[in-house]
């Protein structure tokens, strides 16, 4: 049986590029347009494996001192990207979507306020917000099934990422603890 979270996060087009960074080494994954559906499926699986590997490295990174054990979630609004930093190891988590015109995503340094594996917006038509990490009032980092919109500012202010990446991030924050997690949102 397939994991519905991973199925929902599969890319819809096979001609998109992405960059994965593990331990400071960047790997560009650029498929060729017009790949067969089998090649596209293999590419999607490889992308998920690389993302999971990057997170796994962070899960098992040694914590030498208190300050280096802190997990940093770094969101670049202008780039629409999310990075993780743990014990000097950077990992690219993937594209995000932040606030569209007329809305704002708060910037600054935050700590997670609460984690909600299953949540529905109380403000926007009970929209699903799986694997929510609330960090400033009603603002959260959460998964979205609209993965084709990632990389563009389309939200009401929350930080959206693929459901698979949101699930990995949620588990990482749970394992490190909210007291050892910092969220940095930058323009």
CATH of domain 1-187: 2.40.440.10
**For the segment 40-96, what is each residue's pLDDT rounded down to a tens digit?**
677 667 666 666 655 555 444 443 333 567 999 999 999 999 999 988 888 999 999
- The active-site residue, picked from 40, 90, 136, 142, is 142
Q: Interior CA angle at 46 toward 117 and 160, to 5°?
A: 35
**Helix (H) or strand (E) segment spanning residue 166:** helix 163-176
- The active-site residue, picked from 14, 136, 156, 158, is 158
Q: Is the separation of the CB atoms in 108 and 128 below 8 Å?
A: no
pTM recorded for the entire structure = 0.66
**For the segment 130-172, what is each residue's pLDDT rounded down to a tens digit?**
999 999 999 999 999 999 999 999 999 999 999 999 999 999 9
Whole-number CA gyration radius for the chain = 16
* Catalytic residue check, 14: no
CA distance 78 to 96: 11
* Catalytic residue check, 158: yes
């Amino acid at each position: 049986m397939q994991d519905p979270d991973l199925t929902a996060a599969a890319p819809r087009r096979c001609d998109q590029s992405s960059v994965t960074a593990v331990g400071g080494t960047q790997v560009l994954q650029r498929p060729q347009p017009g790949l067969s559906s089998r090649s596209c499926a293999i590419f999607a699986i490889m992308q998920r494996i690389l993302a999971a590997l990057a997170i796994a490295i962070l899960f098992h990174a040694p914590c030498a001192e208190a300050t280096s054990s802190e997990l940093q979630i770094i969101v670049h609004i202008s780039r629409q990207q999310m990075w993780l930093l743990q014990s000097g190891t950077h990992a690219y988590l993937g594209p995000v979507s932040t606030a569209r015109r007329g809305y704002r995503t708060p910037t600054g340094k935050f700590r997670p306020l609460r984690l909600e594996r299953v949540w529905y917006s109380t403000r926007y038509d009970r929209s699903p917000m799986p694997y929510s990490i609330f960090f400033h009032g009603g603002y959260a980092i959460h998964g979205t099934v609209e993965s084709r919109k990632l990389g563009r500012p389309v939200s009401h202010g929350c930080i959206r990422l693929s459901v698979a990446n949101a699930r990995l991030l949620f588990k990482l924050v749970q394992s490190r603890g909210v007291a050892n997690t910092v969220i940095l949102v930058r323009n």
